[in-house]
């Protein structure tokens, strides 16, 4: 009975840990976590809450952790026992510099810390996605400039309707992706306020300088309501929505390329490097990459619906449900980045059969 009980408790605890932990995925933003902590201790020292000695020791410790994680000397292993990236960094810091490491978290909660990390991460990714959309726009513009005299049928109901140029057709997608780009910029502007200093939900009695940390981290200012600051995931929903629209545009474009690539149309020739063959039917050249990009839209929409559903019943302020924001946002971001890069490559290597068109 005792043995059973002991073993049962242990196994349950391990299961609880595995279910509860986020280190396996929130390690993705260790750089942002460390960056946020460095700004936080600079502010604490400026306000006289931490000594300059503590500040310098903590910053040196954090920089050494960052360097070791970057070059692989320090590895985040899931059986380290740490629950999340915040406790991993703080624990490693305390191992390295001693007691001062524990003072890093003065005037801060993991609730405002994770809100900050996720915002910093998302902001970096928005910039990266915007750059990929810009590359696609440049590629489309190049195709348009070369094809102002390339005539082709314009379709309605997938029936030949009126003559158009290839430039005109490409220009329609140019408009769609231009709107996508401006949506990303809007989201970045609206989300760019710093939640740090909100504490768990109601701030702290320490005389923090929230304007200062906001400025150090490149925000337009601090957020205004501490409860909203730790509970707001609107910017992720907006981003997932913008990513869903990008995916929808890519999917429509891919569908056209798939049609144009058929033997019946033969408008385009997808480069060998972006298609695959069949072992049994040598006449085939399959537009796999276009089909995969079309298919991946489903998983990006899924992330948007998951996030909306997760958020809809959560009372103020922070609740653990919100930890679910990470994996699905990361997956949607990585998926769309991959799709954009591959799509641009496919377009730039694709040739148009002007005579057939
Ligand atoms: N891993 C948590 C998350 O992603 C961090 C915040 C934890 N806060 C807490 N009160 N347990 O949401």
Find out whether the beta carbon of 323 lies less than 6 Å from any atom of ligand 1: yes
User: Residue 314 C-alpha to ligand 1 middle, in angstroms?
Assistant: 14
**Res. 9 pLDDT band, cuts 50 70 90:** low
Residues 6+ apart with CB under 8 A from 228: none
DSSP 101: G
Q: How far is the CA of 286 from the centre of ligand 1 (A)?
A: 45
22 lines ligand 1 (CB under 6 A): yes
Helix, strand or coil for residue 285? strand
pLDDT confidence band for 34 (50 / 70 / 90): very high
- Report the interhelical angle of 325-349 vs 234-260 (nearest 10°): 30
Reported confidence tier of residue 2, pLDDT bands at 50, 70, 90: very low
The single residue of 157, 273, 279, 351 carrying the catalytic annotation is: 157
> Coil, strand, or helix at residue 300?
helix
Structure tokens at 248: 């929808």
pLDDT per residue as tens digits for the range 130-141? 999 999 999 999
pTM of this structure:
0.94
Cβ(114) to ligand 1 under 6 A?
yes
Active site residue 279: no
In the residue annotation, 349 being an active-site residue is answered as no
Q: Which DSSP category does 225 fall into?
A: -
- Of the pLDDT bands very low, low, confident and very high (cuts 50, 70, 90), residue 5 is low
CB atoms within 10 A of CB 343: 22
294-350 pLDDT, tens per residue? Answer: 999 999 999 999 999 999 999 999 999 999 999 999 999 999 999 999 999 999 999
Q: Could you tell me where the DSSP H helices lie in the chain?
A: 2-20, 23-26, 30-46, 52-70, 85-97, 110-146, 166-191, 210-216, 226-231, 234-260, 288-311, 325-349
Q: Percentage of the chain with pLDDT > 70? A: 97
The DSSP letter of residue 217 is: T
- For residue 329 the two structure tokens come to 């946002």
**Which atom of ligand 1 lies at the shortest distance from residue 118's CA?**
4
Q: How many Cα atoms occupy the beta-carbon half-sphere of 104 within 13 Å?
A: 30
Kindly report the number of other CB atoms within 10 A of residue 113's CB atom: 25
283 pLDDT more than 80: no
- Looking at the DSSP bridge assignments, the partners of residue 252 are none
Task: Say whether pLDDT at 114 is over 70.
Answer: yes
306 within 8 A of 293, measured Cβ to Cβ: no
Alpha-carbon torsion, ordered 137, 182, 179, 302, to 10 deg: 100
Determine how β-strand 159-165 pairs with β-strand 151-156: antiparallel
Q: Which residue has the higher pLDDT, 111 or 1?
A: 111
DSSP state of 72: T
Give the distance (Å) from ligand 1 centre to CA of residue 121: 16
Pairing between β-strand 285-286 and β-strand 276-277 as defined by DSSP bridges: antiparallel
Q: What angle do CA 61, 62, 63 make, to 5 degrees?
A: 90
CA 169 to chain centre: 30
């Amino acid at each position: 009975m005792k043995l059973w009980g002991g073993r049962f408790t242990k196994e349950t605890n391990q299961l609880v840990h595995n279910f509860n932990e986020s280190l396996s995925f929130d390690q993705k933003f260790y750089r942002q976590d460390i960056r946020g902590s460095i700004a936080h201790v600079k502010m604490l020292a400026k306000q006289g809450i931490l000594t300059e000695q503590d500040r310098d020791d903590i910053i040196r410790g954090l920089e050494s952790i960052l360097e070791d994680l970057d070059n692989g000397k320090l590895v985040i292993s899931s059986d380290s026992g740490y629950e999340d990236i915040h406790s991993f960094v703080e624990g490693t810091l305390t191992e390295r510099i001693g007691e001062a490491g524990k003072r890093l978290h003065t005037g801060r909660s993991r609730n405002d810390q994770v809100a900050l990390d996720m915002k910093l991460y998302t902001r970096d990714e928005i910039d990266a996605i915007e750059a990929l959309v810009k590359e696609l726009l440049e590629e489309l513009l190049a195709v348009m400039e070369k094809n102002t005299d390339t005539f082709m049928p314009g379709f309605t109901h997938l029936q030949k309707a009126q003559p158009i140029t290839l430039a005109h057709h490409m220009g329609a997608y140019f408009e769609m992706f231009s709107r996508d780009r401006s949506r990303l910029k809007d989201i970045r502007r609206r989300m760019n306020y710093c939640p740090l200093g909100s504490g768990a939900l109601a701030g702290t009695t320490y005389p923090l300088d929230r304007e200062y940390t906001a400025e150090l981290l490149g925000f337009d200012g601090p957020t205004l309501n501490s409860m909203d600051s730790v509970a707001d995931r609107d910017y992720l929903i907006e981003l997932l929505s913008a990513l869903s629209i990008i995916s929808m545009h890519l999917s429509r474009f891919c569908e056209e390329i798939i049609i144009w690539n058929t033997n019946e149309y033969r408008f385009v020739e997808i480069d060998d490097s972006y298609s695959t063959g069949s072992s049994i039917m040598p006449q085939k050249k399959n537009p796999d990459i276009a089909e995969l990009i079309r298919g991946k839209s489903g998983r990006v929409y899924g992330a948007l619906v998951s996030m909306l559903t997760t958020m809809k019943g959560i009372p103020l302020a922070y609740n653990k449900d919100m930890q679910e924001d990470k994996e699905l946002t990361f997956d949607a971001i990585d998926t769309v980045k991959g799709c954009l890069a591959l799509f641009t490559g496919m377009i730039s290597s694709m040739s148009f059969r002007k005579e057939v068109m």
